[in-house]
């Protein structure tokens, strides 16, 4: 693989000086909106309350991070003025509201929001969460693949990194109670691996994967069997990848990272494992800020230290060849060749 100049610069902006991704996710919508709405006794959470929490995530946690992931609904308008100049910015494209049927979940982009706008905004990467089940209906599989393929093409057009997050989810037939923005709890490792194998194909244009653990968090036991699943995941990704926390608790996510870094992961892009405990204090804002600084921040520093010791610098990934991820050509032919890269 050879990165075009815009993608190369974007990837560098997301990593720290060691080439490691230590990214904090603050783009979550239902996991933040729903508890706030429930507390307020409203069908929809007040915009100001959701935005206020996202601002606090940025304000209290961006220090040790290499990049922040924000959404255009709340995060960007609330925290834009406080984003540090030396941090990367990943921006969400997909809507948290999806169409669902017995066939599976059908993703779509946020209304009035595009790859072009993310690039014009100054974003360093486009993030898409694609709900994917290899055993969903052929109609759903074709739709999800086409959606990701189109986003990849747009990212190539505007020369900006494409960060793809893959998540399994329960089908309607597997749910007895309320459904919606629910992640898979009892995972099929083969489904996780098959999803990665599919979207690692060149036609999707993925530059960086954000991946879930191939096994349930409570099954992370340090065994060779679990490690082999992480190893398989890294090989199938075939490019730099980071771990997502998917709501795992702090200890579980720490153990997940140990396996992932042994398998060649280049860092993490995590949210709830870092800030969820503090958010439980809502609506006590003083306690929330205290939780972010006394609990979330030390944890972020801890997993960052683990990354320093064990993660693979992204530009050294084997997919870029012996020279690593570098600008090519870096000579007098650069301007003539840029459009053909």
Q: What is the three-state SS of 98-167?
A: CEEECCEEECCECCCCCHHHHHHHCCCEEEEEEECCCCCCHHHHHHHHHHHHHHHHHHHHCCCCEEEEEE
Q: What residues pair up with 105 in beta bridges, in sequence order?
A: 100
Q: CA 341, CA 328: separation in Å to the nearest integer?
A: 9
Q: CA 101, CA 156: separation in Å to the nearest integer?
A: 31
Q: Name the one residue in this structure whose structure tokens are 């239902």.
A: 30
pLDDT tens per residue, range 188-213:
999 999 999 999 999 999 999 999 99
Within 10 angstroms of residue 139's Cβ, the number of other Cβ atoms is: 12
pLDDT of residue 177: 52
pTM of the model: 0.95
Q: What mean pLDDT, rounded, does the chain reach? A: 95
pLDDT of residue 179: 54
Q: Is the dihedral of CA 165, 266, 311, 271 positive or negative?
A: negative
pLDDT of residue 40: 96
Percent of the chain with pLDDT over 90: 88
Helix, strand, or coil (residue 88):
strand
Task: State both tokens at 195.
Answer: 């999803």
Q: Average the pLDDT over 56-84 and give the result.
A: 98
> Is pLDDT above 90 for 185?
no
Q: Name the one residue in this structure whose structure tokens are 């969460």.
A: 129
pLDDT tens per residue, range 209-257:
999 999 998 888 889 999 999 999 999 999 999 999 988 999 999 999 9
Q: What residues pair up with 130 in beta bridges, in sequence order?
A: 166
Q: Supply the DSSP symbol for 188.
A: -
pLDDT tens per residue, range 98-140:
999 888 999 999 999 999 999 999 999 999 999 999 999 999 9
Domains of the chain as residue ranges with CATH: 5-340 (3.20.20.70)
Percent of the chain with pLDDT over 70: 96
């Amino acid at each position: 693989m050879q990165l075009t100049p815009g993608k190369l610069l974007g990837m560098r902006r997301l990593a720290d000086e060691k080439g490691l991704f230590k990214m904090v996710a603050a783009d979550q919508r239902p996991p933040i909106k729903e508890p706030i709405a429930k507390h307020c006794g409203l069908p929809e959470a007040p915009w100001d309350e959701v935005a206020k929490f996202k601002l606090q995530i940025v304000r209290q946690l961006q220090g040790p991070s290499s990049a922040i992931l924000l959404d255009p609904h709340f995060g960007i308008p609330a925290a834009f003025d406080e984003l540090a100049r030396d941090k990367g910015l990943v921006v969400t494209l997909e809507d948290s509201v999806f169409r669902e049927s017995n066939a599976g979940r059908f993703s779509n982009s946020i209304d009035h929001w595009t790859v072009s706008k993310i690039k014009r905004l100054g974003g360093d990467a486009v993030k898409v969460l694609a709900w994917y089940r290899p055993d969903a209906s052929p109609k759903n599989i074709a739709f999800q693949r086409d959606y990701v393929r189109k986003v990849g093409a747009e990212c190539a057009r505007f020369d900006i990194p494409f960060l793809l997050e893959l998540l399994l989810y329960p089908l309607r037939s597997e749910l007895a109670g309320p459904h919606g923005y629910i992640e898979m709890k009892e995972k099929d490792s083969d489904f996780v691996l098959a999803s990665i194998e599919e979207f690692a194909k060149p036609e999707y244009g993925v530059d960086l994967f954000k991946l879930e653990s191939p096994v349930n968090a409570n099954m992370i036991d340090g065994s060779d069997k679990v490690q082999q699943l992480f190893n398989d995941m890294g090989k199938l990704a075939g490019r730099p990848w980071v771990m997502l926390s998917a709501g795992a608790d702090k200890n579980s996510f720490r153990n997940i990272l140990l396996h992932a870094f042994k398998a060649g992961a280049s860092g993490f892009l995590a949210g709830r494992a870092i800030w969820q405990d503090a958010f439980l204090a809502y609506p006590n804002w003083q306690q929330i800020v205290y939780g972010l600084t006394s609990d979330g921040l030390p944890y972020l520093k801890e997993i960052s230290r683990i990354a320093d010791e064990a993660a693979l610098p992204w530009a050294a990934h084997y997919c870029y060849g012996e020279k690593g991820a570098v600008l090519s050509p870096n000579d007098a032919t650069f301007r003539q060749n840029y459009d053909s890269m």
